[in-house]
Amino acid sequence: MPSTEDTVRRVLRLSAFLFAAALPSAAKAQSGVTPATTPWWDELGDSTLTGLLRSAMEANGDLDAAVSRMLQAEAAADRSRAELMPSLSLDAQASTGPLDGLGFQFGGIPRGDGSSGPTPSLFYTGSATARASYQVSSWGAQYRTLKASRLEAMARRGDEDGVALGLVGQVAQTYYDVVSARAQIEVIARQLEVGEQLAQVAQLRYERGEATALEVLQQRQQLATTRATLPPARVDLRLAQSRLESLLGRDPSEASVVVDAELPGVGDAEVEANRIDPLARPDLRGAADRFQAAEARVSAAKWSVLPTVSLSASTGSQFFRSVGTATQSTWGASMTVSLPVWDGLDRSARVREASADARANRSSLEQLRLNALAEVVSARVQQEGQQAQLDALRDQLEASERAFEESRRRYLAGLATVLDVLNAMNGMQQAELGVIRTQRTLLASWIQLKQAIGGPWTQGLRRRLLESS
Give me the pLDDT at residue 11, please. Answer: 39
With respect to residue 314, please indicate whether it lies within any of the assigned structural domains: no
Within-domain flag for 235:
yes
Residue 110 within any structural domain of the chain:
no
Give 227: exposed, middle or buried? Use CB within 10 Å, 0-12, 13-18, 19+.
middle
pLDDT-wise least confident of 6-20, 137-151, 187-201: 6-20
320 assigned to some structural domain: no
- For the chain, the first-to-last Cα distance in angstroms comes to 50
C-alpha–C-alpha distance, residues 341 and 103, integer Å: 44
Mean pLDDT score, 382-389: 90
pLDDT of residue 235: 95
pLDDT at res. 19: 39
What's this model's pTM, rounded to 2 decimal places?
Answer: 0.75
Q: What is the mean pLDDT of residues 314-337?
A: 86
Alpha-carbon span 247 to 228, nearest angstrom? 31
Distance CA 320, CA 302 (A): 50
Q: How far apart are CA 57 and CA 55, in angstroms?
A: 5
**Position 18 in a domain:** yes
CATH number of the domain encompassing residue 379: 1.20.1600.10
Cα gap 96→124, rounded to integer Å:
5
What average pLDDT is seen over the chain?
A: 81
Q: Between 413 and 161, name the one with better pLDDT.
A: 161
Amino acid in the structure at residue 128: A
pLDDT at 266: 82
Domain of residue 153, residue span: 4-85+139-304+357-467
In a domain, 50, yes or no: yes
Between 252 and 419, the more confident residue is 252
Total domains in the fold of the chain: 1
Helix (H) or strand (E) holding 418: helix 418-453
**In 10 A of CB 344, how many CB atoms?**
7
When comparing pLDDT for 291 and 115, which is higher?
A: 291
* Res 411: pLDDT: 79
Residue 70 located in a structural domain: yes
Nearest to 51 by CA among 43, 41, 61: 41
Q: What mean pLDDT is predicted for residues 444-456?
A: 90
Backbone angles phi, psi at 310, to 5 degrees: -130, 145
Helices (H), 255-330: 269-273, 282-303
Give me the pLDDT at residue 173, please.
Answer: 95
In a domain, 317, yes or no: no
- Rounded to an integer, the average pLDDT of 441-457 is 91
pLDDT of res. 1: 42
Give the β-pairing of 325-338 and 308-321: antiparallel
| pLDDT digit string, tens, across residues 259-290 | 888 899 887 654 444 445 667 889 999 999 99
pLDDT tens digits, one per residue of 119-157:
677 888 999 999 998 877 666 778 788 888 888 899 999
Percentage of residues in the chain with pLDDT exceeding 90? 30
Residue 27 phi/psi, 5-degree rounding, is -70, -40
